[in-house]
């Protein structure tokens, strides 16, 4: 049964789950005809404004977004339509990250990886030695401990810069035997590491037995959210019903792997700052299923595609397909061609790319759409494929995003965990998190809404990333990087990823685009 505690306006909302109508949704396929009838009757001067909210949005939050934006779009003379697609609740990921941040083993992994990375790459904290910088472990511990206790300042070593002599020098050779032996010896003499490892082992379930652990999921230990595979890599093997021996040898190999990954990213220009890169690699190696890639991010992207699947059984129709096919039937019967502006926030941009592909199947060839992307969480490959292949469906495009400096200073979970704790679990924006962890195809996956990938043509060049240069050319003159006060339709004061659908300057730009157009 649908959740009727959140009542939707069927003349303006299309409510879907897993891309489809169902017995759990408030709207159904037949309601689209009522919506289109209402639009035709009103015949608003700015046409229809179709809004696709971002991912990790509950029905309640989606309705709040719709209620707020409906007034803005109507003020601009447009008929608002909202795709509410119940794309999951961010609390799950946030709570997992909060629990991980409290684990002693996570704290110690951060401390040791930061220490060893500084030693391999070098920084102003010490002089250069034969195998990297001379790093003071006590100082590193103080800096990291202070961060975990009070993350009110900059992340640890936020001003870290890769020294030019590190690239191509011995720092690049992080897997040499000398370094590996040094890590093993260092951990054996570190009581904090041994204590954290023992804490993990004390929580191990007997072999073959699992329980529900804090943060959710079937885990091998109740004292950590680490994946079973990761636990196998850091703990010695044990007989059924017995605890393993406390040894840092296997943990040393895992830390070396982490250090190698972080150093490689710095040498290749693919890092997300020292602390951000370190925690990304720890999450990737130790906690991958708890950060949302499998059970949230991949499912959300699937939902956006499933909305445009071939027509399904009665009562379970794909919502996007039903909208486009019913609109197409009206246009083929002689209804006037409408002006439609597609507005997508975050993962809503992925929705729009699939919308364009489906529109080409159901609508007359002369129907096209204007597009506004708000901090789009779509990768460059999908963006290029959709725009290039269906260019005849695209009128104007404008994209709003944050400058890279603001993106780096936007802790993604701050609305759920508070700013300080959010900075500990991940100090950058949701788009950085998507790029660094959730996409999975490569580390530092290029995401359209990030200024980083427009500016770094030295790293993301034409030869290796042709889709990035294509997008740079395609969107030249059509991007707005907040904070911007250039002109009407090009203003934004958004400082957080979630600001773009409620920031007054951005909303004024949306009203201008709908009412006046894309000029100047």
Q: Measured between alpha carbons, how far is 26 from 319 in angstroms, rounded to an integer? A: 12
**Phi, psi (5° rounding) for residue 258?**
-65, -45
Q: How confident is the model at residue 4 (pLDDT cuts 50, 70, 90)?
A: low
Across residues 379-384, what is the average pLDDT?
A: 98
Q: How confident is the model at residue 127 (pLDDT cuts 50, 70, 90)?
A: very low
**Who contacts 57 (Cβ-Cβ below 8 Å, separation ≥6)?**
65, 86, 87, 88
More confident of the two residues 386 and 179: 386
Checking if the pLDDT of 92 tops 90, the result is no
Q: Measured between alpha carbons, how far is 356 from 244 in angstroms, rounded to an integer? A: 56
pLDDT tens, residue by residue, 96-114: 999 999 999 999 999 999 9
150 class by beta-carbon count within 10 Å (0-12 exposed, 13-18 middle, 19+ buried) = exposed
Helix, strand, or coil (residue 492): strand
| Structure token pair of residue 436 | 């660094």
Q: What is the pLDDT of residue 293?
A: 62
Q: How confident is the model at residue 6 (pLDDT cuts 50, 70, 90)?
A: confident
More confident of the two residues 162 and 380: 380
Q: What is the pLDDT of residue 311?
A: 83
- Strands (DSSP E) contained in 292-408 are 340-345, 369-374, 394-402
Across residues 411-439, what is the average pLDDT?
A: 95
Entry field: residues in the chain: 520
DSSP letter at 158? T
pLDDT tens, residue by residue, 24-37: 999 999 999 999 99
Q: Measured between alpha carbons, how far is 50 from 342 in angstroms, rounded to an integer? A: 5
Cβ 271 vs Cβ 277: under 8 Å: yes
Across residues 205-221, what is the average pLDDT?
A: 55
Rg (CA), the chain: 25
Q: Measured between alpha carbons, how far is 457 from 466 in angstroms, rounded to an integer? A: 10
| Structure token pair of residue 339 | 């002006």
Burial 218-243 (b: 16+ CB within 10 A, else e): ebbbebbbbbeebbebbbeeeeeeee
Q: How confident is the model at residue 216 (pLDDT cuts 50, 70, 90)?
A: very low
Across residues 267-287, what is the average pLDDT?
A: 96
Q: Which of 501, 500, 476 is nearest to 407 (CA)?
A: 500
Q: Measured between alpha carbons, how far is 24 from 2 in angstroms, rounded to an integer? A: 4
Residue-range domains of the chain with CATH: 13-90+295-410+454-515 (3.40.50), 93-292 (no CATH)
Q: Are strands 369-374 and 340-345 parallel, antiparallel or unpaired?
A: parallel
Q: What is the pLDDT of residue 237?
A: 64
Q: Which of 427, 422, 425, 381 is nearest to 408 (CA)?
A: 427
Checking if the pLDDT of 163 tops 90, the result is no
More confident of the two residues 237 and 227: 227
Q: What is the pLDDT of residue 210?
A: 54
Checking if the pLDDT of 128 tops 60, the result is no
Helix, strand, or coil (residue 462): coil
Across residues 279-294, what is the average pLDDT?
A: 85
Q: What is the pLDDT of residue 243?
A: 55
Query: What is the distance between the terminal CA atoms of the chain, rounded to a whole angstrom?
Result: 48
180 class by beta-carbon count within 10 Å (0-12 exposed, 13-18 middle, 19+ buried) = middle
Out of 13-22, 83-92, 258-267, least confident range: 83-92
């Amino acid at each position: 049964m649908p959740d009727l505690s959140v009542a939707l306006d069927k003349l303006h909302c299309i409510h879907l789950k897993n891309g489809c109508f169902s017995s759990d949704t408030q709207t159904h396929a037949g309601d689209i005809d009522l919506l289109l009838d209402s639009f035709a009757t009103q015949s608003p001067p700015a046409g229809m404004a179709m809004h696709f909210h971002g991912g990790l949005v509950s029905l309640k939050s989606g309705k709040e977004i719709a209620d707020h934006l409906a007034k803005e779009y109507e003020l601009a003379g447009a008929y608002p339509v909202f795709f509410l697609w119940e794309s999951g609740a961010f609390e799950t990921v946030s709570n997992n990250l909060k629990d991980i941040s409290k684990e002693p083993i996570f704290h110690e992994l951060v401390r040791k990886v930061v220490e060893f990375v500084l030693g391999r790459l070098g920084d102003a904290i010490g002089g250069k030695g034969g195998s990297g910088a001379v790093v003071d472990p006590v100082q590193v511990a103080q800096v990291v401990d202070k961060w975990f206790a009070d993350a009110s300042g900059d992340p640890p070593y936020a001003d870290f810069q890769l020294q030019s002599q590190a690239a191509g020098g011995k720092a690049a050779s992080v897997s040499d035997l000398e370094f590996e032996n040094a890590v093993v010896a260092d951990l054996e003499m570190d009581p904090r590491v041994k204590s954290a490892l023992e804490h993990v082992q004390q929580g191990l379930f007997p072999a073959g037995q699992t329980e529900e652990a804090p943060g959710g999921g079937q885990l091998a230990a109740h004292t950590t959210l680490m994946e079973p595979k990761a636990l196998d890599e850091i703990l010695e093997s044990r007989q059924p019903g017995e605890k393993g021996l406390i040894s840092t040898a296997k943990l040393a190999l895992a830390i070396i792997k982490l250090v190698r990954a972080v150093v490689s990213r710095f040498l290749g220009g693919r890092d997300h700052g020292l602390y951000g890169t370190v925690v990304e690699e720890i999450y990737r190696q130790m906690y991958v299923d708890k950060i949302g890639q499998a059970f949230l991010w991949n499912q959300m992207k699937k939902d956006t595609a499933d909305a445009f699947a071939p027509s399904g059984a009665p009562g379970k129709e794909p919502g996007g397909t039903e909208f486009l096919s019913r609109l197409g039937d009206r246009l083929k019967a002689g209804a006037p061609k409408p002006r439609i502006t597609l507005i997508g926030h975050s993962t809503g941009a992925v929705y729009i790319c699939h919308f364009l592909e489906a529109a080409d199947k159901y609508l007359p060839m002369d129907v096209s759409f204007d597009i506004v992307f708000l901090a789009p969480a779509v990768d460059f490959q999908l963006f290029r494929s959709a725009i290039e292949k269906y260019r005849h469906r695209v009128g104007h495009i404008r994209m709003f995003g944050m400058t890279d400096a603001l993106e780096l200073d936007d802790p993604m979970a701050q609305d759920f965990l508070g700013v300080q704790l959010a900075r500990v679990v991940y100090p950058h924006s949701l788009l950085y998190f998507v790029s660094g962890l959730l996409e999975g195809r490569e580390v530092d996956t290029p995401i359209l809404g990030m200024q980083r990938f427009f500016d770094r043509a030295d790293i993301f060049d034409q030869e290796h990333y042709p889709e990035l240069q294509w997008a740079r050319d395609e969107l030249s003159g059509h991007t707005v990087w907040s904070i911007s006060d250039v002109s009407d339709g090009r203003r934004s004061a958004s400082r957080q990823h979630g600001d773009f659908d409620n920031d007054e300057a951005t909303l004024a730009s949306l009203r201008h685009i709908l009412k006046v157009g894309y000029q100047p």
